[in-house]
Structures are given as C-alpha cells and as structure tokens.
Amino acid sequence: MKILDAQTDEAILAEIGRRLTRRRLAQQLTQAELAEQAGIGKRTLERLEAGLPAQSSTVIRIFRVLGLLPGLEQMLAEPSIRPLEAAARKGKARQRASGRTKSQQHEPWSWAETE
C-alpha cells in the first residue's frame, strides 16, 4: 500500500507499522531483540507496529537499528540555496517564513477608449 496525502493519520501510522514489522522480520529480529537494541520497551515496539502513535525519538532509535536513517536523510535533505539568493542574504540563513501574501484585487485591465 502506498502512503498518500489523502489517507488519514491512522491509516498512515498503520502502514508505517506494517512496513517496520516487515523490515524487522527481513533482518531476522524478534520484537524483543529490536526493542533491546533500540533501548525501548517491547510493548512500545508492539504499539508502533500496531499503528499506534510513538515519540519521534522512539522512531529514530528503531530507524537506527534497522538501518533506515539514510532514508531520512534523503527525505529531509537540506534545502539548497541558489547563488543569487545567498548573495542577497549575504550568506545568512532564513530565520522566519514570510507567510503567504494575499493577491491584490485589481479591476480587469482594458484598453482606454478613445473619443
């Protein structure tokens, strides 16, 4: 099953749980072994594999043991800054988002009538 924007959070968590279970089994690890290597409780791993929410630090620990951290690096790669943008900022990174600007309402443009 693919993870899609239209899915509910619960459906996505359930799919993540299924995928983690398959990855664990592919590496011949029991729940107890993975939990011990990740430094979490076996019940916490059971809940995560069942599709229940977990702390991000727990997910990171499991990803580390299963060798999935490189996938996080790809998914959350550092945004690249265009050279002209970097020059305009004088090498400083953005600290805030400007938010979305509202489009200004203008009257439709038309040719001026000549009289």
Q: Is residue 2 part of a domain?
A: no
CATH value at residue 47 = 1.10.260.40
Q: What element of type H or E holds 36?
A: helix 31-38
- Listing DSSP states for 40-99 in one string gives S-HHHHHHHHTT----HHHHHHHHHHHT-HHHHHHHTPPPP--HHHHHHHTTPPP-S---
How many domains does the chain divide into?
1
Q: Is residue 89 part of a domain?
A: no
Q: Which residue has the higher pLDDT, 86 or 9?
A: 9
Q: Is residue 4 part of a domain?
A: no
Q: Is residue 71 part of a domain?
A: yes
Using pLDDT thresholds of 50, 70 and 90, give the confidence band for residue 105.
Answer: low
pTM for the structure as a whole: 0.68
* CA-based max dimension of the chain: 88
The whole-chain average pLDDT of the chain stands at: 86
Q: Is residue 97 part of a domain?
A: no
Domain containing 47 equals 9-75
pLDDT digits (tens, 9 = 90+) for 24-75: 999 999 999 999 999 999 999 999 999 999 999 999 999 999 999 999 888 8
Q: Which residue has the higher pLDDT, 90 or 66?
A: 66
